[in-house]
Amino acid sequence: MKHLLAATVIALALTASAATDSVRVVKGQVSDYYIPVVTNYDVTGTVTDTNGQPLEGATVMWLHSPAHCNTDAQGRYTLVGTDGDTRLCVYYPSKEMTIVVREAGRRSVNITLPDKTSASIAPPRQAAQATLWYDPHQRNTTTYCNPLNISYNYEPWNNNTRQGGSFRSSADPMALVYKDRYLLFSTNQGGFHYSTNLSDWDFATATFQRHPADDDECAPAAWVVGDTLFYTGSTYQGLPIWYTTEPYSGRWCRAVERNTLPTWDPHVFLDDDGKLYEYYGSSNEYPIKGVQISRQDFTPISRIHDLVLLHPDHHGWERFGMNNDDEVTLKPFTEGAFMTKHNGRYYLQYGAPGTEFKTYADGVYVADHPLGPFTYQQHNPMSYKPGGYVRGVGHGGTFADRHGNYWHVGTCMLSLKYKFERRIGLYPTAFDADGVMHCNTAFGDYPCWNADRNLPNPTDRFTGWMLLSYGKPVTVSSTDSTLTAASLTDESMRTYWSAQTGGTDEWAQIDLGQVKTVRALQLNYYDHHTVQHNRASDLYYQYRILASDDGRQWTLVVDKSDNDRDVPHDYVELRQPLRARYLRVENLHVPSGGKFCLSGLRVFGLADGPRPAAVKRFTVSRDKADPRNAKLTWTPVEGAYGYNIYYGTAPDKLYHCITVNGDTSYDLRGLDLGTHYHFAIQALAETGTSSIVKSL
């Protein structure tokens, strides 16, 4: 009786819907498809050329419909249509395919076809040319530039994308060496990226997604035991732990069906003695936790330890807010635990205060045992980058390259279309003679030498190539709405310019002001009117870069007209120096129906002339009422476009760096109570850097 009653209710609902929407149920049965009730009628007319001569055999069809007819000897056609068919598409050999808009109800439409102006509606395909400065057929990059140029996956179709549209994102990275390759794991990628030099990255599929609106694997953990690679993601309810010995094949097996611990933001650490530990937690209430787990079934075999809890009342950098300036909205979050062992000591890293802020950073506690007790390192945060083009370096992981040099990979803030829209940055890291762990973010978004060079000192990674594009005038082919060309050179990843289309006639041109020596370029694409969710195999960018001394005679420098790689932050290292004043980027292809759109057109190299003078009257005024804050001011240096502020806990430990462009002050709110700091500053100019001077 219940089933009969339910069927009656469904039938009544469907009948009401049919009456409202002018639909009828097929064959009187309850069905999930409907045939609209419409009025069909003939649409007639003639098809002629521009001289009025009838065209016999022209194809007339409704756009995006299989219905079509052909014209007779007098060029006449008859096509059945409805009021909903409003666009006629007409084709004839040697004529331009033409689309004519028809008003609803209009039953006679005459159409004129112009002669075809080109042999094809698509640009001709051709092989990219090698030049003196770039060879598209060779990948021998020796430098890299943040954000990492990897194929960031698009966010799935969910509530995060409904308001701002499609966007790429990844975060919560960790990296390791597996069989002489660097493997990079991060949130929502459907696999992992891999490289042999940390500059050129490829992608391997390893997806475990169960629902199309979910992240694939959030904040994943990976670890190596012998020749086996293990992998799992964040979970409160239990996920499998997978393993493989051939990760590039896409084949993974389950080591266990379900992890028993509520391990959000997990990290699994294998100690030298063969014992396995797990660290986890992401909360603004609960601390980071640690436990020894079984190597057989990954269940706990020790008590669970509370290890790290935030103390924002003492540690200024742990405070919530874009500039550690919000102690009201929410308590800060601690997350992203990661363990590194060096010289017998254990360095437990953790992220704070929130991934959507430029102050997102990783701190570190140190112990003599993997489960503590841990002591807060005086030099904290360990990784910190609140200034420059790429900002934020939190919830990351530390690994040693094949030379034994350390690197830290972390989450960078973008937070434009959605608060969790993020990128990934890579920074050289080291331990000093006193065992202090520090990450070098100075020149962290400039070209730096990659892992092929054995450079134990992180400061030696910087190439010395300066930013030549900051604030430079840009002319463009077109502009969509208010997205002006000034955004291309303002050194903000959170502003962008877009052309009106994604076509081959769109371009952007920068004037460097005078002829300068160019060593590298970075094209930071952004998604405007793109329709893409999750990963696809046909995502790629194609473009050409030309150079000129006078803006009239142009030379091809970089040709990526047949590129098939997904390069959303494409970094191009030139094979030899280029002397030029003007640079022009010509768009050839952007993916997924988007418009030609860039958040930054960055140029690196050197201008002619002397280095800038040293900064004068650099003062630091620490807030007496709240010593977590300090006001930094200085006198501008002629020719300088920016400044690097260095500070640390000793004159020889100035490990923190904040890049400030176009200003002569900074509001620092990341200091710890009870810690004495030393400060210094350096001017940045297109001709190089100044000497470093200490504060007054």
pTM greater than 0.85 (yes/no): yes
Least confident of 163-167, 287-291, 666-670: 163-167
Q: What are the backbone angles phi and psi of residue 232, rounded to the nearest 5°?
A: -155, 170
Average pLDDT, whole number, for the chain?
A: 93
> Is the pLDDT confidence value at 11 over 90?
no
The confidence score (pLDDT) of residue 202 equals: 97
The confidence score (pLDDT) of residue 29 equals: 55
Q: How confident is the model at residue 536 (pLDDT cuts 50, 70, 90)?
A: very high
> What integer is the mean pLDDT of 634-661?
98
Domains, the chain: 2-36 (no CATH), 41-113 (2.60.40.1120), 146-445 (2.115.10.20), 474-606 (2.60.120.260), 619-694 (2.60.40.10)
> Is the pLDDT confidence value at 12 over 50?
no
Q: In sequence order, what are the beta bridge partners of 657? A: 646
> In this predicted model, what pLDDT tens digit does every residue of 431-479 receive, in sequence order?
999 999 999 999 999 999 999 999 999 999 999 999 999 999 999 999 9
Cα–Cα distance, 206 to 203 (Å, whole number) = 10
Cα–Cα distance, 564 to 575 (Å, whole number) = 21
Q: How confident is the model at residue 649 (pLDDT cuts 50, 70, 90)?
A: very high
The confidence score (pLDDT) of residue 212 equals: 87
Question: CA torsion sign, 144 to 146 to 148 to 152?
Answer: negative
Strands, E, within 187-256: which ranges? Answer: 191-195, 201-205, 221-225, 228-232, 241-244, 253-256
Helix (H, G, I), strand (E, B) or coil at 284: coil
Write the DSSP string, 120-149: -SSPPP-PPPP-SS--TT-----EE-SSP-
> What integer is the mean pLDDT of 521-527?
98
Single out the residue of 584, 605, 599 nearest to residue 498, CA to CA. Answer: 599
Output the 3-class SS for 625-674. Answer: CCCCCEEEECCCCCCEEEEEEEEECCCCCCCEEEEEECCCEEEECCCECC
- Going by the DSSP 8-state scheme, the letter that residue 677 receives in this structure is -
Q: 463 vs 383, 460, 613, CA distance in Å?
A: 21, 8, 20
Cα–Cα distance, 641 to 100 (Å, whole number) = 54
> In this predicted model, what pLDDT tens digit does every residue of 186-229 receive, in sequence order?
999 999 999 999 999 999 999 998 888 888 889 999 999 999 99
Q: 275 vs 219, 233, 302, CA distance in Å?
A: 23, 21, 11
Q: How confident is the model at residue 23 (pLDDT cuts 50, 70, 90)?
A: very low
Q: How confident is the model at residue 93 (pLDDT cuts 50, 70, 90)?
A: very high
Q: In sequence order, what are the beta bridge partners of 270? A: 276
The confidence score (pLDDT) of residue 215 equals: 84
Q: Which residues, 6 or more positions from 311, have their beta carbon under 8 angstroms from its beta carbon?
A: 318
Output the 3-class SS for 228-239. Answer: EEEEECCCCCCC
How far, rounded to the nearest angstrom, does the alpha carbon of residue 406 sit from its chain's CA centroid?
Answer: 23
> In this predicted model, what pLDDT tens digit does every residue of 255-301 receive, in sequence order?
999 988 999 999 999 999 999 999 999 999 999 999 999 999 999 99
Question: CA torsion sign, 517 to 519 to 524 to 525?
Answer: positive
The confidence score (pLDDT) of residue 449 equals: 98
